[in-house]
Amino acid sequence: MKKSAPAQAPKRTAQKAASAPKKDSACPIVGIGASAGGLEALGQFLEHVPKDSGMAYVIVQHLDPTQKGMMPELLQRATKLKVMQVKDRTRAEPNCVYVIPPNSDMSVLRGVLHLMVPVEMRWLRLPIDFFFRSLAEDQREQSVGIILSGMGSDGTLGLRAIKEKAGIVLVQDPATAKFDAMPRSVIDAGLADIVATAEELPDKLIAYRQHLPQLARSELRLDEKVQSALEKIVILLRGHSGHDFTLYRRSTLYRRVERRMGIHQVGKISGYVRYLQENPQELGILFKELLIGVTNFFRDKTAWEQLASKALPLLLKDRPAGSTLRAWVAGCSSGEEAYTLAMVFKETLKNLKYTDNVSLQIYATDLDKDAIDKARLGLFPENIVADVSPTRLSRFFIKEESGYRVNKEIRAMVVFAPQNLIMDPPFTKLDLLCCRNLLIYLTPELQRKLFPLFHYSLNPGGVLFLGSAESIGNFTHLFTALALKERIFQRNETAMQGSHLDFPAVYVPANTNRQESQLAARAPAPSLQSLADQMLQQRYAPPAVLVNEHGDILYISGKTGKFLEPATARPTGTSSPWPMTGCAWSSPARCKRSFAKKARSSPVASSSAPPQTHEQWTSWCRRSRSRRSSLA
């Protein structure tokens, strides 16, 4: 609960508050990335920023590390805001512009800017990505990232992190940029919320920022109205995409909706529902927002190191030569995590000097079909050098003009497919299941259903790999931690102990007979005893035929084709006893010849005369069944 100062606060209290050390800054920080041609774009942007916008603007540009920074003096001519070069531990203040010094990386912690000495070679450095990622972690949903003119793709990965935290991304219109590579990289990645000229971006940003506090004050208190509006949005999304977001976390859903409301300057959530009804294209954008396709190579590096050192050797132990491990990467987005797993597996085989021909088949799935299509291409921008080491780049990637493409060896290990984790059947007989940074967006109710399903999908001794912010909750009877901090667990060989195994639901076809569906729903599930009896009967019991006193067949068990088969005839409401192969009721003589021939070759044939009447047939069937039982 926020504390507000009284209207007539004592002067001593005000002085004490003013002299107290500042804690977390409430000042919004706007990160701006630019490169070639960026000076002009920055000038156009700052020229249209009002002097009382209430935000701090932090500029990160590609600068020559050998030259003295002249950027603050040049930008000061275009704006009335105070422009300064960042010094280590500079607190960001509103209505000020901060410029990164040459030969430095910059991060932010609780509103304070920190400078670091770069460790990468100059041509491998990505200072914009570095700052944007730090900004996302520090400011979270308050973070703002802007990309202006520049070459390359620096900034795209950092903006992914901002989007993951529900921040906002603004991009200069590529048609107005001197060098459009950086803006186009962000737009092509589907990360841009607002695209406009450098002169127009400040007004759009301020309108967005002014709108968010209004939403927080007025709408969040109307719980019932907000809940009702969110349910209507879920209904509209389901009608548009066919996917149900009912079990999506309401807090995350609202944050994503709130962002879109701010971008369109819609004051009330009920107004946004109406906007969705009138603008179907907005439903598609919101659907993409909710998928949160944010990932990168070797995310949480220590977790991958633990997987390589603990989990994979365990799975490879006593594995027969020529066998194949099966892995499922759920929520793979654009494929980085699936390819990371493939690379880690290859490195593990090499490090263990594993000589047996053991392979890994990876099934990677995601709800977003566009992300799956992109993942299949295996082509990634140059800025993956921030996450992939030069050694891995040379071993697992091929350099192309537009970036890096995974080589054929890694690409062949992964099969990509669209899948709804909630609605579609899971993969089974798995040795490894990766579901990282997906469960945090789902309700606890759905998570409780998924963990027993994961247990069912894994082979005995299989490994479950979760994200850093996820845990198995109360399902410690199903999984044992291999590396708890890194969220790596092994499947326990235990009964479900009351856990309900709830398979994903599927849509029922419209022409399904309602009465049959109701009867099927009321039918009890087969018990373990009945399933065991059925298996034993199928595998070990001899073939048998159940007939009534008239010789009509009531039930057949097992394969009886070696001894009996139906005669060619028109089907009737009842069945008659079937003669042996080749017999027909219309020819008794032929039946006798067939019976005599079968009697000489079949170990269960009778040595007596062939049966003639129904009673004789019934007696013969009993004797044949008894002999088969004794032989079995």
DSSP state, residue 356:
S
Give the C-alpha separation, 60 to 134, whole Å: 13
What are 385's two structure tokens? Answer: 């050098």
Got the DSSP string for 98-161? EEPPTT-EEEEETTEEEEE---S-GGG--HHHHHHHHHHHHHGGG-EEEE-S-SS-TTHHHHHH
Cα–Cα distance between 109 and 137 in angstroms, integer?
9
Edge to edge, what strands does the sheet with 194-196 contain? 82-85, 96-99, 56-61, 29-34, 144-147, 168-172, 194-196
* Beta bridge pairs of residue 171: 147, 195
The number of CA neighbours under 13 Å toward the Cβ of 367 is 18
CB contact at 8 A, 63 and 102: yes
Q: Are 442 and 338 in contact (CB under 8 A)?
A: no
DSSP characters for 46-79? HHTS-TT---EEEEEE---TTS---HHHHHHTT-
- CA-atom Rg of the chain in angstroms: 35
Ramachandran angles phi, psi of 197, nearest 5°? -70, 160
Please state the φ and ψ torsions of residue 316, each to the nearest 5 degrees.
Answer: -80, -15
Is-contact 613 591, C-beta < 8 A? no
Task: Please count the CA atoms within 13 angstroms of the CA of 204 that sit on its side-chain side.
Answer: 19
Return the active site residues. Answer: 35, 62, 154
The closest of 596, 599, 276, 325 to 458, measured between CA atoms, is: 325
Nearest alpha-carbon partner for 333 in 190, 218, 498: 190
- 535, containing H or E segment: helix 528-540
Query: What's the sign of the alpha-carbon dihedral 214, 218, 224, 228?
Result: negative
> Are 250 and 200 spatial neighbours (Cβ–Cβ below 8 Å)?
no
Return left, alpha or beta for 114; rule: phi > 0 is left, psi -120 to 50 is alpha, else beta. Answer: beta
Distance CA 41, CA 45 (A): 6
